[in-house]
Homo-oligomer: A and B are copies of this chain.
Amino acid sequence: MAELRRDPLTRMWVVVTTDHPKGPSDYLPFKPPYQLQDAEGACPFCPGNESMTPEEIFSTQEEGKGWSVRVIPNKYPFFRIEGEFDRRPDGMYDVMEAIGAHEIVVEAPEHHQNLAFMEPSQIRRVLLAYQERLIDLEKDRRFIQFLILKNYPGLFNRHPHSHIIAMPVIPRRIDEEILGILDYYQRKERCIFCDILREEMSGRKRIIIETGHFLIFSPFASRYPFETWIVPKKHRPDFHPLHEDEAEDLSIAIQSLFLKFYKLLSNPPYSLTFHTSPVQERFHRPEYHWHIETRLRIGLREGFEWGTGFFVNPTPPEDAAAFLRKMESD
């Protein structure tokens, strides 16, 4: 049999296979969904080629070694920083200019890198760069939502990098989360994420890593095999004031998690994304609980999910967590 599990946050039902679940060996030998060749010619993100990119916005520097993390505007942005919103009707429809910012964070000087093998101190520099940029971008009052997104491998360039996007609207997924959080708050006067943390820490079936500041676990209604959430134990709506010791803790946890993935599923492609409260006084939500969601890009049934809005997950989160928990991370 399979189970229908309801995500308590968004109330979405997910089919989770429980009687003949798929384990790691069912996904191996792993076939990447696409083969990416290194582009011919020089990589614009490599040291020495800085002139190939738009002007640097931010960087961290190591004494005598040059930059360690570098932030630049995306040459091919989805959102542009110049211009007016021009919110207007188009017949019965609504439209506006896509004003926003789209920046690239070059995560390391090395061209080939995986979070699995990055020094935690380097991951920490990347987290710091995210924060610095969010603090700066928040000053532009046109931006109400930040998204931080990383794909491994990158879709257009293998050099490790992530995207920071500042948007004038709240995207669907964050909106759904906020609705779920507010609805739960109204009924219980508690944060649903704080309750999920308590539930997971009492049952422990879906925990992968627990650190002083973060819980890393497979969510109950995982939409994807090995979907994983990294949730701070302390309720805080925004990612961007991350304290020193939290940043250190988080960077060690991230490296451990992705090393587990690397070993368990032989270097799978993955995506991770930071979910944080909208910003600006009018939109900011103190009830929000920031977190990171990660997904392996394996075993997709994207036609089915697109067609039905219904996710089918052949690897129950309890199994996924058990496999990952047991996998050594050093």
Contacts from A to B (Cβ < 8 Å):
1-6, 8, 10, 12-13, 15, 33-34, 78-80, 83, 90-98, 147, 149, 151, 155, 163, 165, 167-169, 171-176, 195-196, 199, 202-203, 220-221, 271-273, 293, 295, 297, 300-304, 306-310, 312
Shortest distance from the beta carbon of A90 to any chain B beta carbon, whole Å: 7
Chain B residues in 8 Å Cβ range of A302: 297, 300, 302
Chain B residues in 8 Å Cβ range of A80: 1-2
> Are B308 and A171 in contact, CB atoms less than 8 angstroms apart?
yes
**Complex: chain B residue closest to A165, CB-CB:** B308
Interface of A is mostly: mixed
Partner of A4, one of B6, B91, B96, B306: B96
> Are A93 and B149 in contact, CB atoms less than 8 angstroms apart?
no
Shortest distance from the beta carbon of A319 to any chain B beta carbon, whole Å: 15
> Are B79 and A15 in contact, CB atoms less than 8 angstroms apart?
yes
Chain B residues in 8 Å Cβ range of A304: 149, 151, 163
> Are A94 and B310 in contact, CB atoms less than 8 angstroms apart?
no
> Are A199 and B92 in contact, CB atoms less than 8 angstroms apart?
yes
Partner of A295, one of B147, B306, B312: B306
> Are A171 and B303 in contact, CB atoms less than 8 angstroms apart?
no
